[in-house]
Amino acid sequence: MKKGRLFTVFFVVLIDLIGFGIVLPLLPFYGSEFGATAITIGLLYSIFSFAQLIFSPIWGSLSDRIGRRPIMIISTLGSMVAYIIFGLAGSLGVLLFSRLLAGIMGGSISTAQAYIADVTTTEERARGMGLIGAAFGIGFVLGPVLAAGLINPAFAGFFANLGYADLAAWLEANKYALPGFFAAFLSFCSFLWVFFRLEETVDKERAKSLPKFKFGGVFTKTFWDRLSDNKAKGTAFFGMLVFAAFILSFGQSNLYSAFPLFSEAILGMDAQQVSLQFFYIGIIAVVIQGGLIRPLTRKFAEEKIFLVGNILMAIGMALIGFSTEVWMLTLFLGLMAVGHSLNLPTMNSLISKEADPAQVGTVMGTAQGLSGLGRTIGPTWGGFLFGISPFIPFFVTGAVIGLTIWIGYRIVSGRSSSEPASG
């Protein structure tokens, strides 16, 4: 494992996700400044995932041809511009555009996953993919904390004391500008890190032998042909794994819309208490994906860890609907988070192993595209079910996630049957 390269790509993704974590909790409040309805606020979340749904496969395929480094340079610069627009948004339409642009330029994750696949052996792959999950966890821990600090009126007072009264007045009138600008600054730092430190891993000569590039968005025939034809190594697991990627991202994003509503309506929790639960989820992701996944993959097969993660996530999600006390919610939420922290890096590792080494970016982009589809549908689905009953989103979504238990069992059984008998 090339530790220097892994640290570089981890740092790039981490900086990017801290910026994402800053913006995410502010969207409902920022949208309300422009009179956004609940549905429109949901759209602010969904439009980002919808854009990723279309463009992640495209960026992944392009990274196989022109290299990982150029795509990550474009992505980090594009994110910087999107955050600047976010900070300057003077209308709901501009705010929506900033999220659309951020989604379009969000090619860094799938490209980073492909990069990790380039620089790790098959035995090290899950540990490498765990770094992406750890970056997500840290981003969701630090981002909201920074967001709360950056909208503090004390910043405007600080500039006023320095003699910049006009700037202080503008910041006071546009309290979401500073978080946007700070997130843009982080993306610029990420760009500099890619530009000066990230080594290219794509063999340009081998890339020339790839089929001619075709527009491969999720709504094109090319995308679905690629999905059905990519049976690398003669296995049938690729289709199952990317279907699991869709289900798991769908289930996780469902939680983000239904969980705060449930916490307030059933348990009487306020925004600060709900934020603390998200902080708790982030800590679990950091501990498991950033540390424990390495010794676990040394001792157990990735397929088995993936299966166990699916079981824990499905059970934890369903049990959330039975919570009548905050401690019960914390326990069941933690069970779900442990499961997701186990199945996410092992799933991405298994997907990357199904790919031709020359087309890892295409494969990871395809998986990210379907994950984007799950994240696009999930929040709306959770809100719709909550309108029927506060408990239903967790029962139904737990059952849907249960499909991945069957997928995990099939993969474990298939791997076991393909291993040569000993003795």
Give me the pLDDT at residue 331, please. Answer: 95
In whole angstroms, what is the distance from residue 123 CA to residue 116 CA? 12
Q: Residue 85 in contact with residue 23, Cβ under 8 Å?
A: no
In whole angstroms, what is the distance from residue 196 CA to residue 72 CA? 12
Does residue 213 lie within any of the structural domains? no
Q: What is the count of structural domains for the chain?
A: 1
In whole angstroms, what is the distance from residue 253 CA to residue 418 CA? 35
Does residue 210 lie within any of the structural domains? no
Does residue 150 lie within any of the structural domains? yes
* CATH assignment of the domain containing 253: 1.20.1250.20
Does residue 201 lie within any of the structural domains? no
Q: Which of 362, 269, 349 is nearest to 303 (CA)?
A: 349
Residues 6+ apart with CB under 8 A from 154: none
The rounded Cα 65 to chain-centroid distance in angstroms is 24
Terminal CA-to-CA distance of the chain, rounded, Å?
A: 32
* Helix locations, 151-270, DSSP H: 154-161, 165-173, 177-197, 204-207, 221-229, 237-267
Does residue 214 lie within any of the structural domains? no
* pLDDT digit string, tens, across residues 157-202: 777 777 777 777 777 778 888 889 999 999 999 899 889 888 887 7
Neighbours of 173 (CB within 10 A): 9
Dihedral angle sign, alpha carbons of residues 199, 205, 211, 213:
positive
pLDDT by residue, tens only, the chain of 423 residues: 456 677 788 888 888 888 888 887 777 778 878 887 766 776 787 788 788 777 877 887 788 878 888 998 999 999 999 999 999 988 999 999 999 999 888 777 778 878 887 877 777 766 777 777 778 778 877 887 788 778 777 776 777 777 777 777 777 778 888 889 999 999 999 899 889 888 887 766 665 555 555 555 555 566 556 555 554 444 567 778 888 888 998 888 877 767 777 887 888 877 567 767 877 888 888 888 777 888 898 888 888 999 999 999 999 999 999 999 999 999 999 999 999 989 888 888 888 777 666 666 667 766 776 777 787 788 777 777 887 888 888 999 999 999 999 999 988 887 665 554 433
Does residue 43 lie within any of the structural domains? yes
Does residue 308 lie within any of the structural domains? yes
Range of the domain at 113: 3-194+220-418
Give me the pLDDT at residue 423, please. Answer: 37
In whole angstroms, what is the distance from residue 169 CA to residue 73 CA? 35
In whole angstroms, what is the distance from residue 380 CA to residue 42 CA? 7
Give me the pLDDT at residue 395, please. Answer: 93
Does residue 405 lie within any of the structural domains? yes
